[in-house]
Structure 1
């Protein structure tokens, strides 16, 4: 079940960078788009959990939900949405792939946890694969806004890494609550803060949100990107560790390349293919121990006495 949900999550998240870019290019205000996306997705999921009697409204009064929402949703996506006005989706995918390495960095430097060498090696190999995969397609025009956008994405990944590690503690503390309800609560908080930021920094234009591209992008990101993808991410954090589900950041460019080749007959060069293989190798190395637990070797049957 873990592998199936991980594959679905990677497939979903592999399409979200492009969906965000489509909405922003259509004129949708970035902070409002992100805020309404996460607030509505969280609200629908939370009300569903309450109706199923798997959550209570008192969960929304817990400060842990606000802190998680501030990191995982607000900090990560306020920077990403703003940056994609000035950075291509390919460059954004490369910069976002620093997330798993930042998790390891925080675990080592801040939390003083011992990190296995193969996890670090796998992160470096995976990141190198992402660069090989995406960099030949990335058109970079160096400007102050491009540099600011790139720095914003890196800052967002620092928020993401902190939120992923903190959410593991939150899940343990609220072990009687469904991970779906916990994720919904943090999305509501993060989305709400994004909407407040939009109120003070953006001019709201209803006509921009009603274009087919902007409306379609928003609907896809609410239902598929947030309600499905982020719920699976939170579930995987609960079932495994913060690094394992975060490796979707390495696979998303691979998925984007495959979809481009399949749907639009885009050319795949040998460098890109090597990058895809390198990325997958890195992910396997990072999660070698987890994979061994998921697929234990079958014990050899005892030899029959002759």
Structure 2
């Protein structure tokens, strides 16, 4: 029961973060500044707590591997996401962000020459059709160049996330003795620092603080970056590496629902088709892992 509760809580938090980002940028908080504050604060707090509990050491801060992970996983991904949410709805941002596994497959195939299954190929094609459906409202219903660019920028961010995910797998192997939470905290620190530097370079200025904008940053820092990720690593330790990652199947639907109910975001029928295609593509891309888990459970129950 505890595992189910924590999994549900994690999915809910991840699903609501996209609307929280949207609220912050709509309140006039500069995207790179708010993202930088969020990740710098979350990473620093987690790292200090782990240091206090002697779960890590200061030397981890100086490792270039974690700098590179922070560059790809946090900086590229969230610089693109925060900027794009100035122009597109939070629900669509969540669905496009779920395309990361598809990007991982493409990178592994194109650059690493990894052979993929027919199911994965079908999943990539379905995902591409789904993305096209999400682009269509900006193309045909009302020509909106900002919508189109925003969708494209999020996809670029997911390429960064996919590359970072592949690289972080090697990083975890390199630092087997370190807590995964410590590794995540340090990469968030570097990602947050780079976001703050980008904010400074682009000339973002501190906004007039509003209560919704302030609460969005607090929520994203504490719930989105600290609580949800802590639950994620707890579930990895208690279950398996795949189960927690299935938040990608659930959270986009949560994001679409709360965006429509509480922020009056428009959800066009064409978008819903795109959502279902992308979610189906995720199943196909991960079909082999899903079948492995099902077979393991069947074997365990038969004993």
* TM > 0.5: yes
Moved more, 293-302 or 59-68: 293-302
CA contact (8 A) 2:136 2:270 kept: no
Matches within 5 A, 1:272-287: 281-287=280-286
SS in 1 for 2:50: helix
SS in 2 for 1:186: helix
For residues 130 and 42 of structure 1, do their structure 2 counterparts lie closer, same or farther at Cα, with a shift above 3 Å needed? same
1:201 maps onto 2:238 in alignment: no
1:26 maps onto 2:27 in alignment: yes
SS in 2 for 1:113: coil
Q: Kindly provide the CA deviation profile for residues 149-204 of structure 1, in whole angstroms up to 9, marking residues without a partner as x.
A: 33321211110110111111111110111111000000000001111111221342
SS in 1 for 2:298: coil
Structure 1: how far apart are the matches of 2:75 and 2:202? 15
CA-atom RMSD in angstroms: 3.7
Structure 1: how far apart are the matches of 2:207 and 2:126? 44
1:226 maps onto 2:225 in alignment: yes
1:94 Cα deviation from its structure 2 partner: 4.0
1:217 Cα deviation from its structure 2 partner: 0.6
**Corresponding residue pairs, total:** 298
Matching residue of 1:192:
193
Structure 2: how far apart are the matches of 1:214 and 1:35? 14
Structure 2: how far apart are the matches of 1:275 and 1:156? 19
CA contact (8 A) 2:127 2:281 kept: yes
SS in 2 for 1:297: helix
1:289 Cα deviation from its structure 2 partner: 3.7
Structure 2: how far apart are the matches of 1:166 and 1:34? 22
Gaps of 5+ in 1: none
1:147 Cα deviation from its structure 2 partner: 3.8
For residues 261 and 298 of structure 1, do their structure 2 counterparts lie closer, same or farther at Cα, with a shift above 3 Å needed? farther
Q: Kindly provide the CA deviation profile for residues 11-51 of structure 1, in whole angstroms up to 9, marking residues without a partner as x.
A: 22211111111000001011110000000000111111111
1:249 Cα deviation from its structure 2 partner: 4.1
SS in 2 for 1:195: helix
Gaps of 5+ in 2: none
Q: TM-score, normalised by structure 1?
A: 0.80
CA contact (8 A) 2:102 2:282 kept: no
